[in-house]
Amino acid sequence: MKKKEKHSTIKSGLLRFARRILKKIATPFILFLHRNVRYKNLLESKRRKQLTIFETQELSIPLPYAPHHVCHGMNYYGFFYSFTNYAGIKKINPRYGIEHGLYLAAKGKKYSSEITFSDYREQMLWKSGSKAIKIGPYIHYAEPFLDNSVFTRLKQELGKVLLVFPTHSLDSFQATYDMQAFIDSIELHRTAYTTVMVCLHWKDFEWKRNLEYEKHGYKIVTAGHPYDTYFLSRLKCIINLSDMVIGNDIGTFLGYCIYLNKPVFLFSQPIYLNPNQSEKAFYKEINLRNREEWNELKQTKESFFSLFSKFEEKITDEQYNTISHLFGFEYVRDKETLRRLLR
């Protein structure tokens, strides 16, 4: 090993060690400072749990950031609650980060260990100096959102359900697409279904994306705000109510749906990303990938659209095997194993 490379390796190791010590010291203090916010967040999340999945305006009202863990991503989508509740623990190792969704052709993070889905991300994480903690599709760990009797009654009321996942905006960018073309595709298939449900991201209610879908008689649902403790449980309920799923982009929903045995059709159309409010935040998101990685992402997406290009109520072996590889179906953990991995 060259002297310069050896020096860089030692420096990198020392920095990781320093971060580890700092987190160990600072974590209890940081969490203590936010104890009141966490309590209020939990109370509000419990109140929203009593709302139906159709009360979207109230469910999409922003919640304050209430950290249960020093990794920002661990506090999204009810991950912390779902994992700790399933495993029967109160804490997750503060040195752990998490990939909160499907990352295609993207770099790894800087945590010593990173919770992720599968082998697919392990190499990228290894390159960034992180160990992959593979636990399969996170939705497996979400507790039931409704009692069996309530769920059964709701399913009977809805009948056969066509569930729609439009691509969604984020804080940093607004995703735009030809909504009418997408609706035309939905209309082409809706006659075989009693109900069409459109699951919208909370941010899209700010842009009034729900109005056009409502004009066509679709029922609008949402999993809630990202800081909602029961987000993942609510999303699991929404997917389980469906019989067939339509999307117009590649997203984490794809793996969750296939894992929950819901066939998926992908409608291919151009998606445009535009700065939302802050151009700085927008370009930070864009620069997460270099040009080579953006090209790889494009090719990967094209292969997925081809794989899910037929509208049929069955999951082919090729579809299942491909998604299983990405989302690590073989890494779904029992309670004891998850408890051991997260401590």
* DSSP per position, 179-234: HHHHHHHHHHHGGG-SEEEEE--GGGGTTTHHHHHHHTTPEEE----TT-TTHHHH
Q: Is residue 126 helix, strand or coil?
A: helix
- The helix (run of H) or strand (run of E) holding residue 36 is helix 35-49
pLDDT of residue 1: 47
**Residue 225: which of 247, 248, 200 has the closest Cα?**
200
pLDDT of residue 279: 55
Q: Is residue 272 helix, strand or coil?
A: strand
pLDDT of residue 285: 59
- Residue 328 is given by DSSP the state T
Spell out the residues 6+ positions from residue 206 whose beta carbon is closer than 8 angstroms to its own: none
pLDDT tens digit sequence for 161-208 = 999 999 977 666 678 899 999 999 999 999 999 999 999 999 889 889
H helices within 216-332, ranges in order? 231-240, 252-259, 279-286, 291-307, 317-327
pLDDT at 37 over 90: no
Q: Is residue 69 helix, strand or coil?
A: coil
257: number of CA atoms within 13 Å, CB side?
29
pLDDT of residue 23: 54
Q: Could you give the domains of the chain? A: 3-141+332-342 (no CATH), 148-317 (3.40.50)
CB atoms closer than 10 angstroms to residue 199: 24
pLDDT tens digit sequence for 253-310 = 999 999 999 999 999 998 887 766 655 655 555 556 667 666 777 788 888 999 999 9
Q: Is residue 343 helix, strand or coil?
A: coil
What is the token pair recorded at 23? Answer: 């987190």
Residues 163, 197: contact at Cβ < 8 Å? yes
pLDDT at 28 over 90: no
pLDDT at 242 over 60: yes
Q: What integer is the mean pLDDT of 61-87?
A: 93
pLDDT at 131 over 80: yes
Higher pLDDT, 304 or 26: 304
pLDDT at 252 over 60: yes
What is the token pair recorded at 109? Answer: 């993070």
